[in-house]
Every structure is written in C-alpha cells, then in structure tokens.
Amino acid sequence: MAKSEALVLDFWASPFAMRVKIALEEKGVEYETRHEDDLLGNKSELLLKSNPIHNKVPVLLHGDKPVCESLVILSYIDDEWPQPPFLPSSPYDRSVARFWADYVDKKLFEAGGEIWRAQGEATEAGKKELFEVLKNLEGTLGENDYFGGETFGFLDIVIIPLTSWFYAYECLGGFKIEEEFPKLSTWIKRCLQRQSVAKVLPEPVKLLEFVRMIRKMHGLE
C-alpha cells in the first residue's frame, strides 16, 4: 500500500519537476518521488504509460491518475488542495500570473539553454536574450516581496526552480546575476529561506557539473 497519495515522476535537475515538488510541500501534501535515471536512453514503463503524449517528467500521479505538464500540474494542485491558494483571487490578477508563467515557459529555460548548449557567438546571443527575459521579469516583480505580491505564489513557484540553473549560466556566460539584476537576486534569496524551496532546489554547483558533463558529451568542453 502506498504511504502517500501522491507520486512524482522526477528528475533531480529538472526545474519543471522542482515546481511540482515545491507546490506539494507548500500545500503540506505527502508525496513520494520516483527518479527517472536515464531520460535520454531508457525511460521507465511507468513514465511512458503515464505520459504517452510527451514521455516527459514531471508527471504527478494522484492515486492512479496522471497529470502532465508542470503548469497544468500546478493548477491541478491548487484546485485539489485549495489552501493556501497559489493564484490571486481576482480574474485579472490571475490572468497576469498565468501570462508571465507562460512567458517564462516559452523563454527563460530556452535562453539559458542557448548559453550552455553552445559557445562563442551563440552563447553571447543567449546571454542577451536571457538578460531581456530577466529584465522583463524584474519589471513585473517591481518593489514587491514576491511575484505574488506580499505572498509567495504561483509565479514564484514557476520561476524559482529555474534560478538553480543561474550559477551554470553565470559561469559559462561570464556574468553575475546579482550585479545585473539586484532585485531579482534579493527575491531569490528571500525564496531560498522558505522550507519548501530550500528542501527541493539542488545545489547550483551540482547543476554546473551536470551541464559540464553534457557539454563534454557533445564535445563542447
């Protein structure tokens, strides 16, 4: 018999999987994780069965029912366990949070990827794009403590895992986030003080090692 009702199909470095784990922690839901050791070569039967369309982590299995795509999973967690709410209460504010979550999904990880998956000019282009994305996000944050305003919420959960990759981007791109984006840096430190975030996010140096390993595999180091 399963100890807990929720199972996350996981990969330690996946910022998308981190979102799900943080969300469950925030709601106080007991969950287990099952790590996919070989996402490139040999995906587990359970993963392929639970996510036949995309074959990707994360997947949340609640009872037997699979939920796929991290933003869909976040909304599901918020619907299923309403307290404390992740999304603001007004429809307009909710649409703004969803807009920026979607923007982050379309732009942030991709821009970072251009930095570490390449060299020279391509890395420079990636850096420029990343800076534009972070500038937009800092604009949205404004003077607030969190993207959710006074409380840690949906958009904070969406973005914070991606920041664990920043150290890798900094080392490969030759810049410091703290110098370029001080407000964002402060927000990152504030979020890292939350138990859910501190527990879930891997150490940035481990992600740098991971990135270096992949670069080596592709002859970039």
Partner 1 sequence: MAQENDIELLDFWVSPFGQRVRIALAEKGVDYEYKEQDLMNKSEFLLKSNPVYKQIPVLLHGGKPICQSLIIVEYIDEVWSDKPPLLPAEPYARANARFWADFTDKKVYECGTKLWKLKGEEQAAAKKEFIEIFKFLEGELGDKTFFGGETFGFIDVALVPFVAWFYAYETCAKFSIEEVCPKIVAWGKRCMERESVSKTLSDPDKVYEFVLFLKKRFGVE
Residue that is written with structure tokens 């982050």 in the block: 104
Which position among 5, 32, 80, 209 is part of the footprint of partner 1 (CB under 8 A)?
80
Can residue 20 be called a binding residue for partner 1 (CB under 8 A)? Answer: no
Can residue 203 be called a binding residue for partner 1 (CB under 8 A)? Answer: no
Q: Which residues contact 16 (CB under 8 A, 6 or more apart)?
A: 57, 58, 70, 161
Which position among 50, 75, 164, 196 is part of the footprint of partner 1 (CB under 8 A)?
75
61 vs 20: CA distance, rounded Å: 11
Can residue 64 be called a binding residue for partner 1 (CB under 8 A)? Answer: no
Cβ-based nearer residue to partner 1, 5 or 209: 5
Can residue 215 be called a binding residue for partner 1 (CB under 8 A)? Answer: no
Q: What does each C-alpha distance from 155 to 101, 109, 137, 149 come to in angstroms?
A: 6, 15, 10, 10
Cβ-based nearer residue to partner 1, 136 or 185: 136
Stretch that binds partner 1, among 3-11, 23-31, 66-74, 173-181 (CB under 8 A): 66-74
Shortest separation between residue 176's beta carbon and partner 1, angstroms? 26
Long-range residue pairs from 139-147, CB within 8 A, at least 24 positions apart, any chain: 140/100, 141/183, 141/184, 141/187, 145/187, 145/190, 146/187, 146/190, 146/191, 147/97, 147/100, 147/187
Can residue 65 be called a binding residue for partner 1 (CB under 8 A)? Answer: yes
Shortest separation between residue 102's beta carbon and partner 1, angstroms? 6
Can residue 92 be called a binding residue for partner 1 (CB under 8 A)? Answer: yes
Q: In what side-by-side order are the strands of the sheet with 6-10? A: 31-35, 6-10, 59-62, 65-68
Shortest separation between residue 47's beta carbon and partner 1, angstroms? 16
Burial class, 204, CB count within 10 angstroms (exposed 0-12 / middle 13-18 / buried 19+): middle
In terms of DSSP bridges, do strands 59-62 and 31-35 run parallel, antiparallel, or are they unpaired?
A: unpaired
Shortest separation between residue 86's beta carbon and partner 1, angstroms? 13
Which position among 47, 61, 68, 115 is part of the footprint of partner 1 (CB under 8 A)?
68
Q: Which residues bind partner 1 (CB under 8 A)?
A: 53, 62, 65, 67-69, 71-73, 75-76, 79-80, 91-92, 94-95, 98-99, 102-103, 136
